[in-house]
A and B are shown apart, each in its own frame.
Chain A
Amino acid sequence: MTIRTPTAALTGDERRPGRAHEILWLVLVGLVVLIWLGPVLWISNISLKTRAEIAVPVPSFIFRPTLENYAAILENPNLVRYAANSLIIASVTTVITIVLASLAAYGLARFTFRGREGLLTWILSLRMMPVIAVVVPFYIMYQRLGLLDTYAGIILAYLPVTLPFAIWLLYSFIRDVPVVLDEAAMLDGCGPWRTFLEIVLPVSLPSVAVTAIFTFIVCWNEFLLALILTANRAKTFAVGMSEFVLSYEVLWGQISAAAMMMLLPLLVIVYLVQRHIVKGMTLGAVR
C-alpha cells in the first residue's frame, strides 16, 4: 500500500516506508487503542465478576464469568424506572426540539431580514450558557410552581440546552440544501410552508436524524439539571447511576454492568453518525 500522506513525505520514503517506522507507528497505534479501550475492557471484565472476585486486589483475567450483575440491574425496579424516565424525557425533549429547531433553522437559512445575523450569533452564544445559571432560577421557580420532579418540568428545563445546538446544526445543514430546489418548488406552486414540509425537510432527513440523535444523547447524558430538578418520580438514569456511590458499599459490579449496557447501543449509534460528529461539535466552523 503506497501511503501518500504528509507523514510519509516526512519519513522521506514513499514507496517502501521504512520497516522501523512502520513498526513504531503500529506500536503507537496499539498504545492509543490500549489507553482508550483499556477502561472499557476493564469495566467489561468487572461486570462479569462476583462481588468476591471484585474485592480482590489482584484482578484475574481467567475466571468464570457470571451474569449476576446484569440480572441485578435489570431486576432493580428503581433503575428500570429511571431508565424509562430517561427514555421518555429524552424522547419528548428531542421531538419538541426538532420541531421547533427545524422551523427556526429554515427561517434563518432561507430568509434574509434585518437582525438575522445578530439572532444567529445570539443563538450560537446560548450554546455556551453554563447550566448552573439555568438551574438556580429554575429551581426557585419550580419550587413555587410545583414543577419539581415532574416530566414537564425537566423537559422544559432541557430546552435551553438542546434548542440552540439543534437550531445551529440544522441551520448549517439546511444551508447546504441548494436553493434551486426551493425555487423549483415555488415555481411549481408551493408557498413557503409547503416548500418546507414537502421539499426541504424530506431532503434534509438524514441531517434531521443526526440532529435528533445528538439531541437525544445530550438529554440522556445530562446530569446537573436532572440532579437538582428531579427527585423520585422523574429521576433520570444518569442521576440514578450516580447514587450507586452514595451507599456505604459501592456495587462496582452492577455499575459496570450498567455501563456496558449503555455503551453497546451507543457504539452502534456512533458508528452511524461519526461522519457528522466534527461538524456538530464545532458548529460548522471546521469544514
Chain B
Amino acid sequence: MARGPGGNWDRFVPFQFLAPGLLVLIAIVVYPTIAIIQNSLYDWNLLVGNRRFVGVQNYASLLADQIFLKSLVRTSIYTAGVVSAELVLGFALALLFNRSFPGLNVLRTLLIAPMLVAPVMVGLTWRFMYEPSIGVLNYLLSVIHLPGLRWISDTATALPSVGLADVWQWTPFVFLILLAGLQSIPESIVEAAVMDGAGARRIIFEMQVPLLSRVILIVVLLRVIDSVKLFDLIYVVTRGGPGNSTYLASFYNYVVGFTQFQMGRASATAFLIMLMISVLTMLLLRVILRGERL
C-alpha cells in the first residue's frame, strides 16, 4: 500500500515512476561496485593479459606501498589547507557582502562563474599563470621587486600551486552558501546583540558562527569529499609532478590503472577510496538530514 495524492494507491503505481531511473542507476552503480571488489582480488595487467587470483594481496601491497601512503597523507594535508583557506576566505567574503547594494547580481554572476567553468579550463589558466617566464604571476612579483617562483616545477611549491587554483575556483562556492546562511539569520538577533553592547568580534564568533554551524559543517564535508576526489586540476596543472609530489589519492589511482594498467591494484585502490568517501558521506548525510523531514 502506498499513499499519495488522492488517497491510497497500489504499491505498483509509484514503482512505475521510479522503475526506469532506478533500474538504470542500479545497473550502472551497483555493477561497478561489485566489479571493483571482484577485480581487486586479481593481479591483472591489462596490457599483458594474464589474470591471476591473488586474494587480498593487492590490498596488502597497497597498504605497504610508500607512494600510496604518502599520497594519502598528502591528500589529508592538501584537504586541510585548501578547505581551511576556503572557509576563512569564504566567510570573510560573506560577511563583507552581507548587504544589498547595486551590482550584487553582477557580482554574484562573476563569482559563480569559476565554479561552473570546466576544471580543465581553470587548470589551464593557472598553468599558464604559473609559467616562469611568460606567466602573469611572476610578472606581478617582478613589479614589486620580488624574485619569481618556480611554482609547479618545484616539489615544494607544486602542491600549494594546485591548491591555490583550487581555492580560487571554490571559495565562491563556500562564500555563496555562507552568505545564504548569514542572510537567513534574522536581523533582529544581531540588532539585539548590538544593543546589548556586543562588539563585532563577539557577534561574529559567538552568534553568527554557532548559528551557522550546521551549514559550515555541510560545506566543509562537501569540500573534503571533493578534495579526495580531485583529479582534473592535478592532471592539467602538474600531471602529478614534479616526481610524484602532487600525487593525491584519485590521481594515484589513475596512474596505477591507466599508465601502468594494473587493473587489479587499481580496483583495490578505487575500493579503498570509495570506502573513505563512504564514511565521509555518511557523516555528511547525518548532518544534512538531521531533523529534516524527507
Contact = CB atoms under 8 A, between A and B. Distances in A.
In the complex they form, whether A and B have CB atoms below 8 Å apart is answered with: yes
Interface of A: 3-10, 12, 25, 28-29, 32-33, 35-37, 39-40, 42-43, 46, 54-59, 99-101, 103-104, 106-108, 110-113, 116-117, 119-121, 123-126, 128-141, 143, 156-157, 159-160, 163-164, 167, 179, 182-183, 186-187, 192-193, 195-196, 217, 220-221, 223-224, 227-228, 238-239, 241-242, 244-245, 250, 252, 255-256, 259, 262-263, 266-267, 269-271, 274, 277-278, 281-283, 285-287
Contact of A140 (B39, B125, B281, B292): B39
A143 B46 contact: yes
Interface in B71-112: 93, 95-100, 105, 107-112
B113 A270 contact: yes
B36 interface: yes
Contacts of B114: 36
Contacts of A164: 25
Nearest to A11: B200
B120 A223 contact: yes
A86 B21 CA distance: 23
Given A33-B107, A129-B29, 4 more contacts: A10-B200, A130-B229, A135-B257, A186-B5
Chain B: interface secondary structure? helix
Given A133-B33, A182-B5, A245 B274 contact: no
A262 B119 CA distance: 12
17 contacts: A54-B134, A104-B22, A111-B17, A119-B22, A120-B294, A124-B285, A130-B270, A130-B274, A137-B267, A140-B263, A186-B6, A192-B9, A241-B124, A242-B236, A244-B124, A282-B222, A285-B218
Contacts of B28: 134, 156-157, 159-160
Given A56-B134, A124-B285, A133-B32, A37 B110 contact: yes
Contacts of A187: 6
Interface of B: 1-6, 9, 11, 13-18, 20-22, 24-25, 28-29, 31-33, 35-36, 39, 46, 93, 95-100, 105, 107-121, 123-129, 131, 133-134, 136, 138-139, 168, 172-173, 176-177, 180-182, 184-185, 187, 190-191, 194, 199-200, 203, 208, 215, 218-219, 222, 225, 228-229, 231-232, 235-236, 250, 253-254, 257-258, 263, 266-267, 270-271, 273-274, 277-278, 280-282, 284-285, 288-289, 292, 294
A274 B109 contact: yes
Nearest to B207: A6
A208 B115 CA distance: 21
A223 B100 CA distance: 37
A286 B218 contact: yes
Given A113-B11, A282-B177, A108 B109 contact: no
A263 B116 CA distance: 9
Contacts of A55: 134
A282 B218 contact: yes
Given A103-B17, A223-B232, A281 B111 contact: no
B99 A39 contact: no
Given A156-B28, A267-B113, A130 B203 contact: no
Given A182-B5, A278-B176, A132 B111 contact: no
A242 B181 CA distance: 37
Give the residue among A101, A139, A242 with the most B Cβ atoms within 10 A: A242
Contacts of B257: 132, 135-136, 139
Contacts of A3: 99
Contacts of A136: 32, 36, 39, 253, 257, 263, 266-267, 270
A281 B176 contact: yes
Contacts of B17: 103-104, 106-107, 111, 192, 196
A123 B254 contact: no
